[in-house]
Chain A
Amino acid sequence: MTASIPSDAQVPSAETPPLPSDDCWRRIGVAGDRSCPELAVHVHCRNCPVMAEAARTFFDRVAPDGYLESWTRVLEEPNAPRDAELTSILIFRVGQEWLALRAGALVEVTTERLRHRVPHRTGGVLEGVVNIRGQLQLCVSAHTLLGIPQVSADDKASAHTPAEEADTAAGKRRFLVVERVVDTGPEQWVFAVEEVAGMHRIARTEMRAVPSTVSQSSARFCYALLDWQTSVVGLLDENRMFDALRDQVHAV
């Protein structure tokens, strides 16, 4: 009598879908020891016809009670007019500050490369010229422009924690190529950032105004702030930034 209890417990209830007889992906597939010879062909179990067949079996059952009704309620809701309100931005880090630019202003993200100094012109915000796809572009210092302390060689040397060292060694630094089209044609600038956190789509409602009391010079170039993960991201106004770059580079 007591022996029969565990075996009863094994019987799936009516709600649980019957699992396919052989869940090989858990045994020899990507969730198992990866010894399946088919992996050489399909790379991942999700591309394998065996799993497709299992999925077919899994979905070949009556929907659980209340499942379809709950969908009715979800579908009655009009879609939030999110498309019009969403903005794509690229989030990146300059020094210790997280900043973002509108994706429309971005041309490309590329690896950091050699800056060629321009004799008598380099200094201040202009760092030199760089070769971007065979075109020489002006490379500027976002740190100088925005008044963010440069991560200097000293800082690298004094990186005391292994994590900080790894940060530098991992080569997270990137060049951002940004562009704006003015009357005289497209105007491109290149600047280095410490890290790029990728493209994000944000709603206008997520943005908040920059407090007027903020005196940091980077705030001058921000038109809004955004809470992202544990950081506050400043959304850069590219026009203000480009104008300032023009003034400063031409003044050198």
Chain B
Amino acid sequence: MQLLTFKACGHAYAIESKAVVEVLPQVPVRAMPRLPDYIVGMFNYRGKMIPVVDLTRRLSDRFAAERLSTRVIVVEYGIPEGHVDSPRFRQVRMGLMAEDVISTQSSKDADTAFPTMHLEIAPFLGRIVRLNGETIQVVIVEKLLPTDIAAGLFTDAAALHSQ
């Protein structure tokens, strides 16, 4: 499978490219006060406001640097509709700001060096792969936002309004 790689504090991470809609430059965002600081704000993506998560901040102690190689990866994934255990899913979009978004790499299942951890403190940490001598950790896009925050940012009402 294809991985879109990026760096946070010198370490390589990746997200699975099947979730990626588009890769954009580091566009200015409108701040969202009182939210966790890794949610740097929202911006108007094709006529729809979407939240932006700073992956550098989510994965380390600092924010993404202002560089041309820092980009916003627009991803799309399904969240349960209505309540948490709902069997029905709705597609939502979110921007992920990440440093060194330069290349993609192909990985096979056999490259997995360590399976997904399922940790409560960092549920977004996926499996670790070894590729071309590099250790890359896959970030699980669906689990980057805590459930309650995701529910607030991706309300059904917001979806109805913007359709």
Which residues of A pack against B, CB within 8 Å? 52, 55-56, 58-63, 67-69, 71-72, 75-79
Residues of A within 8 A of B26 (CB): 63, 68
Q: CB-CB contacts of B88-111 with A at 8 A, as 1s and 0s?
A: 000000000000101100000000
A77 in contact with B46 (CB, 8 Å): yes
- In Å, the complex CA distance between A52 and B67 comes to 17
Residues of A within 8 A of B43 (CB): 72, 75
A55 in contact with B102 (CB, 8 Å): yes
B24 in contact with A71 (CB, 8 Å): yes
Q: Does B32 contact A (CB under 8 A)?
A: no
Q: Does B45 contact A (CB under 8 A)?
A: yes
Q: Does B47 contact A (CB under 8 A)?
A: yes
Residues of A within 8 A of B155 (CB): none
Q: Does B60 contact A (CB under 8 A)?
A: no
A77 in contact with B27 (CB, 8 Å): no
Number of interface residues of B (CB under 8 A): 18
- In Å, the complex CA distance between A69 and B43 comes to 12
- In Å, the complex CA distance between A58 and B69 comes to 9
Contact of B24 (CB < 8 Å), options: A59, A60, A75: A75
A62 in contact with B67 (CB, 8 Å): yes
Determine how close the nearest CB of chain A comes to the CB of B91; give it in whole angstroms. 15
A76 in contact with B47 (CB, 8 Å): yes
B27 in contact with A75 (CB, 8 Å): yes
- In Å, the complex CA distance between A56 and B46 comes to 29
**A-B pairs with beta carbons under 8 Å apart, 19 shown:** A52-B102, A56-B100, A59-B102, A60-B67, A62-B66, A63-B25, A63-B66, A67-B25, A68-B26, A68-B27, A68-B28, A75-B27, A75-B43, A75-B44, A75-B45, A75-B46, A76-B44, A76-B47, A78-B47
Known: A52-B103, A59-B69. 8 other contacts (CB 8 A): A52-B102, A58-B68, A59-B102, A62-B66, A72-B43, A72-B44, A77-B46, A78-B48
Residues of B within 8 A of A79 (CB): 46
Determine how close the nearest CB of chain A comes to the CB of B19; give it in whole angstroms. 18
Contact residues, B121-157 vs A (CB, 8 A): none
B46 in contact with A63 (CB, 8 Å): no
Which B residue sits closest to A70, measured CB to CB? B25
Given A59-B68, A78-B46; A71-B103 close (CB under 8 Å): no
Residues of A within 8 A of B69 (CB): 56, 59-60
Determine how close the nearest CB of chain B comes to the CB of A39; give it in whole angstroms. 20
Determine how close the nearest CB of chain A comes to the CB of B162; give it in whole angstroms. 10
Residues of B within 8 A of A56 (CB): 69, 100, 102
Residues of B within 8 A of A63 (CB): 25-26, 66-68
- In Å, the complex CA distance between A69 and B45 comes to 13
B68 in contact with A62 (CB, 8 Å): yes
A71 in contact with B102 (CB, 8 Å): no
Among A76, A77, A79, the one with the most B-chain Cβ atoms within 10 Å of its Cβ is A76
Determine how close the nearest CB of chain A comes to the CB of B153; give it in whole angstroms. 18
Determine how close the nearest CB of chain A comes to the CB of B3; give it in whole angstroms. 16
Which B residue sits closest to A58, measured CB to CB? B68
- In Å, the complex CA distance between A60 and B71 comes to 12
Residues of A within 8 A of B24 (CB): 71, 75
A59 in contact with B28 (CB, 8 Å): no
- In Å, the complex CA distance between A78 and B48 comes to 8
Residues of A within 8 A of B100 (CB): 56
B46 in contact with A69 (CB, 8 Å): no
